[in-house]
Structure 1
Amino acid sequence: MPDDDLPKYFDRDGHRISYETYGRLRLDRGYRSVAETIEHRYRVSTIWLGKDPRPDLCSDPGNGPRLFETLIFTPQGIVNSVIHTPYLCWYPTELEALAGHYEALRWLRVRRAVAN
Protein backbone atom coordinates (compact mmCIF):
# COMPACT_ATOMS: atom_id res chain seq x y z
CA MET A 1 0.00 0.00 0.00
CA PRO A 2 1.53 3.38 -0.94
CA ASP A 3 2.29 5.75 1.95
CA ASP A 4 -0.40 8.20 0.72
CA ASP A 5 -3.04 5.50 1.22
CA LEU A 6 -2.04 4.83 4.84
CA PRO A 7 -3.98 6.54 7.64
CA LYS A 8 -2.31 9.78 8.67
CA TYR A 9 -2.05 10.74 12.32
CA PHE A 10 -1.18 14.21 13.64
CA ASP A 11 -0.37 15.83 16.97
CA ARG A 12 -2.16 18.98 18.17
CA ASP A 13 0.29 21.14 16.24
CA GLY A 14 -0.48 19.32 12.99
CA HIS A 15 2.79 17.37 12.76
CA ARG A 16 2.64 13.78 11.47
CA ILE A 17 3.07 11.18 14.21
CA SER A 18 3.27 7.41 14.30
CA TYR A 19 0.28 5.19 15.04
CA GLU A 20 1.92 4.24 18.36
CA THR A 21 2.28 7.88 19.41
CA TYR A 22 -1.28 8.58 18.28
CA GLY A 23 -2.56 5.67 20.40
CA ARG A 24 -0.70 6.89 23.48
CA LEU A 25 -1.94 10.48 23.06
CA ARG A 26 -5.56 9.38 22.50
CA LEU A 27 -5.51 7.75 25.95
CA ASP A 28 -4.37 11.02 27.58
CA ARG A 29 -7.57 12.89 28.45
CA GLY A 30 -5.63 16.07 29.21
CA TYR A 31 -4.03 16.01 25.76
CA ARG A 32 -7.27 15.09 23.98
CA SER A 33 -9.44 17.78 25.60
CA VAL A 34 -9.26 21.29 24.13
CA ALA A 35 -12.24 22.82 25.97
CA GLU A 36 -15.33 21.69 27.83
CA THR A 37 -18.14 23.92 29.05
CA ILE A 38 -21.32 23.01 30.91
CA GLU A 39 -24.15 25.38 30.03
CA HIS A 40 -27.37 24.57 31.92
CA ARG A 41 -27.94 20.91 31.08
CA TYR A 42 -25.73 20.88 27.95
CA ARG A 43 -22.06 19.99 27.61
CA VAL A 44 -20.07 21.63 24.84
CA SER A 45 -16.98 19.53 24.19
CA THR A 46 -14.06 20.28 21.88
CA ILE A 47 -11.42 17.58 21.48
CA TRP A 48 -8.35 16.70 19.46
CA LEU A 49 -9.05 13.76 17.13
CA GLY A 50 -5.55 13.34 15.72
CA LYS A 51 -6.78 12.27 12.30
CA ASP A 52 -9.39 13.28 9.77
CA PRO A 53 -12.72 11.72 10.82
CA ARG A 54 -13.86 11.62 7.18
CA PRO A 55 -11.04 12.72 4.90
CA ASP A 56 -13.26 12.23 1.87
CA LEU A 57 -15.74 14.82 3.18
CA CYS A 58 -13.78 17.10 5.47
CA SER A 59 -10.31 17.77 4.18
CA ASP A 60 -9.68 21.10 2.61
CA PRO A 61 -6.45 21.07 0.61
CA GLY A 62 -5.87 24.70 1.58
CA ASN A 63 -6.33 24.07 5.30
CA GLY A 64 -5.26 20.48 5.81
CA PRO A 65 -6.98 17.67 7.70
CA ARG A 66 -9.66 18.30 10.30
CA LEU A 67 -7.99 17.26 13.56
CA PHE A 68 -10.40 18.73 16.12
CA GLU A 69 -14.11 18.31 16.80
CA THR A 70 -16.82 20.17 18.72
CA LEU A 71 -20.05 18.49 19.82
CA ILE A 72 -22.95 19.55 22.06
CA PHE A 73 -24.34 16.90 24.43
CA THR A 74 -27.14 16.72 26.99
CA PRO A 75 -26.22 15.29 30.43
CA GLN A 76 -27.52 11.93 29.17
CA GLY A 77 -24.84 11.98 26.48
CA ILE A 78 -27.25 12.58 23.61
CA VAL A 79 -26.17 15.03 20.96
CA ASN A 80 -28.62 17.95 21.11
CA SER A 81 -31.87 16.02 21.56
CA VAL A 82 -33.83 18.97 22.96
CA ILE A 83 -32.80 21.50 20.34
CA HIS A 84 -33.49 18.95 17.55
CA THR A 85 -30.50 20.06 15.49
CA PRO A 86 -27.27 18.11 15.79
CA TYR A 87 -24.20 20.24 16.35
CA LEU A 88 -20.93 18.83 15.05
CA CYS A 89 -18.04 20.84 13.65
CA TRP A 90 -14.52 19.85 12.63
CA TYR A 91 -11.48 22.14 12.52
CA PRO A 92 -7.94 21.89 11.10
CA THR A 93 -6.14 23.79 13.90
CA GLU A 94 -6.38 24.06 17.66
CA LEU A 95 -6.90 27.82 17.45
CA GLU A 96 -9.85 27.37 15.07
CA ALA A 97 -11.21 24.63 17.33
CA LEU A 98 -11.11 26.90 20.36
CA ALA A 99 -12.86 29.68 18.42
CA GLY A 100 -15.36 27.05 17.23
CA HIS A 101 -16.00 26.00 20.83
CA TYR A 102 -17.10 29.53 21.70
CA GLU A 103 -19.16 29.71 18.51
CA ALA A 104 -20.92 26.49 19.63
CA LEU A 105 -21.71 28.13 22.98
CA ARG A 106 -23.14 31.15 21.17
CA TRP A 107 -25.16 28.84 18.92
CA LEU A 108 -26.52 27.00 21.96
CA ARG A 109 -27.47 30.22 23.77
CA VAL A 110 -29.34 31.53 20.71
CA ARG A 111 -31.24 28.23 20.28
CA ARG A 112 -32.12 28.12 23.98
CA ALA A 113 -33.35 31.74 23.91
CA VAL A 114 -35.56 31.01 20.90
CA ALA A 115 -36.90 27.82 22.52
CA ASN A 116 -37.82 29.65 25.76
Structure 2
Amino acid sequence: MLTAIDHVQLAAPPGSEPILRAFYGDVLGMTEVPKPRGLAGRGGCWFQAGAVRLHVGVEDGFRPARKAHPGLRVTGIDAYADRLVAHGVGVVWDDALPGHRRFYAHDPAGNRLEFLEPSPRA
Protein backbone atom coordinates (compact mmCIF):
# COMPACT_ATOMS: atom_id res chain seq x y z
CA MET A 1 0.00 0.00 0.00
CA LEU A 2 1.31 3.46 -0.89
CA THR A 3 1.44 5.83 2.06
CA ALA A 4 3.34 8.92 0.86
CA ILE A 5 5.77 10.26 -1.68
CA ASP A 6 9.24 9.96 -0.21
CA HIS A 7 10.82 12.47 -2.59
CA VAL A 8 10.60 13.89 -6.08
CA GLN A 9 13.61 13.65 -8.37
CA LEU A 10 14.34 16.35 -10.92
CA ALA A 11 17.20 16.35 -13.38
CA ALA A 12 19.69 19.04 -14.34
CA PRO A 13 22.79 19.33 -16.51
CA PRO A 14 26.19 18.29 -15.12
CA GLY A 15 27.97 21.13 -13.33
CA SER A 16 24.76 22.99 -12.41
CA GLU A 17 24.95 22.18 -8.70
CA PRO A 18 26.16 25.66 -7.59
CA ILE A 19 23.23 27.49 -9.21
CA LEU A 20 20.80 24.83 -7.99
CA ARG A 21 22.10 25.20 -4.43
CA ALA A 22 21.57 28.95 -4.64
CA PHE A 23 18.07 28.54 -6.03
CA TYR A 24 16.72 25.75 -3.83
CA GLY A 25 18.55 26.99 -0.73
CA ASP A 26 18.54 30.78 -0.92
CA VAL A 27 15.49 31.41 -3.10
CA LEU A 28 13.13 28.61 -2.04
CA GLY A 29 14.44 28.41 1.52
CA MET A 30 15.16 24.68 1.50
CA THR A 31 18.06 23.02 3.33
CA GLU A 32 20.59 20.94 1.45
CA VAL A 33 20.76 17.38 2.77
CA PRO A 34 24.03 15.47 2.36
CA LYS A 35 23.79 12.61 -0.11
CA PRO A 36 24.84 9.17 1.13
CA ARG A 37 28.49 8.38 0.45
CA GLY A 38 27.65 5.80 -2.20
CA LEU A 39 25.54 8.30 -4.16
CA ALA A 40 27.56 11.50 -3.67
CA GLY A 41 29.95 10.69 -6.52
CA ARG A 42 27.08 10.81 -9.03
CA GLY A 43 26.70 14.58 -8.66
CA GLY A 44 23.49 16.44 -8.04
CA CYS A 45 22.13 17.64 -4.71
CA TRP A 46 19.26 16.90 -2.33
CA PHE A 47 17.06 19.44 -0.54
CA GLN A 48 14.45 19.35 2.19
CA ALA A 49 11.93 21.69 3.81
CA GLY A 50 9.88 19.93 6.47
CA ALA A 51 8.40 16.82 4.85
CA VAL A 52 9.12 18.11 1.31
CA ARG A 53 12.16 16.44 -0.24
CA LEU A 54 13.55 17.18 -3.70
CA HIS A 55 16.48 15.35 -5.22
CA VAL A 56 18.18 16.90 -8.23
CA GLY A 57 20.30 14.50 -10.21
CA VAL A 58 22.64 15.33 -13.07
CA GLU A 59 21.90 13.96 -16.50
CA ASP A 60 24.05 14.12 -19.60
CA GLY A 61 22.08 15.59 -22.49
CA PHE A 62 19.55 17.06 -20.04
CA ARG A 63 16.48 18.76 -21.46
CA PRO A 64 13.83 20.06 -19.04
CA ALA A 65 10.37 18.55 -19.29
CA ARG A 66 7.86 21.01 -20.69
CA LYS A 67 4.83 19.80 -18.76
CA ALA A 68 5.94 17.45 -15.95
CA HIS A 69 6.48 19.16 -12.60
CA PRO A 70 6.20 18.76 -8.84
CA GLY A 71 3.33 20.58 -7.14
CA LEU A 72 4.68 22.24 -4.00
CA ARG A 73 2.18 23.39 -1.39
CA VAL A 74 3.05 26.67 0.33
CA THR A 75 1.57 28.97 2.94
CA GLY A 76 1.40 32.69 2.27
CA ILE A 77 1.51 32.23 -1.48
CA ASP A 78 1.60 35.96 -2.27
CA ALA A 79 4.64 36.51 -0.06
CA TYR A 80 6.27 33.39 -1.49
CA ALA A 81 5.73 34.63 -5.05
CA ASP A 82 7.13 38.03 -4.03
CA ARG A 83 10.21 36.27 -2.62
CA LEU A 84 10.84 34.54 -5.95
CA VAL A 85 10.32 37.73 -7.94
CA ALA A 86 12.72 39.59 -5.61
CA HIS A 87 15.35 36.99 -6.55
CA GLY A 88 14.72 37.54 -10.27
CA VAL A 89 12.57 34.44 -10.80
CA GLY A 90 9.58 34.86 -13.09
CA VAL A 91 6.23 33.63 -11.80
CA VAL A 92 3.13 32.92 -13.88
CA TRP A 93 -0.17 32.87 -12.02
CA ASP A 94 -2.84 30.35 -13.04
CA ASP A 95 -6.39 30.36 -11.70
CA ALA A 96 -7.57 27.17 -13.47
CA LEU A 97 -7.49 24.89 -10.40
CA PRO A 98 -10.67 25.33 -8.33
CA GLY A 99 -10.11 25.81 -4.62
CA HIS A 100 -6.48 26.86 -4.97
CA ARG A 101 -4.28 29.81 -5.78
CA ARG A 102 -1.22 28.80 -7.73
CA PHE A 103 1.65 29.92 -9.88
CA TYR A 104 4.41 28.35 -11.91
CA ALA A 105 8.12 29.13 -11.96
CA HIS A 106 11.25 27.47 -13.32
CA ASP A 107 14.47 26.56 -11.58
CA PRO A 108 17.79 27.59 -13.19
CA ALA A 109 17.93 24.29 -15.12
CA GLY A 110 14.51 24.98 -16.62
CA ASN A 111 12.51 22.54 -14.47
CA ARG A 112 8.89 23.62 -14.14
CA LEU A 113 7.69 24.01 -10.56
CA GLU A 114 4.10 24.56 -9.40
CA PHE A 115 3.44 26.36 -6.12
CA LEU A 116 -0.08 26.18 -4.71
CA GLU A 117 -2.10 27.02 -1.64
CA PRO A 118 -5.71 26.05 -0.89
CA SER A 119 -7.92 29.09 -1.24
CA PRO A 120 -10.30 29.98 1.59
CA ARG A 121 -12.55 31.62 -1.00
CA ALA A 122 -13.35 28.30 -2.68
TM-score, length basis structure 2: 0.27
More strand per residue: 2
Q: Which has the higher contact order (CA 8 A, sep 6+)?
A: 2
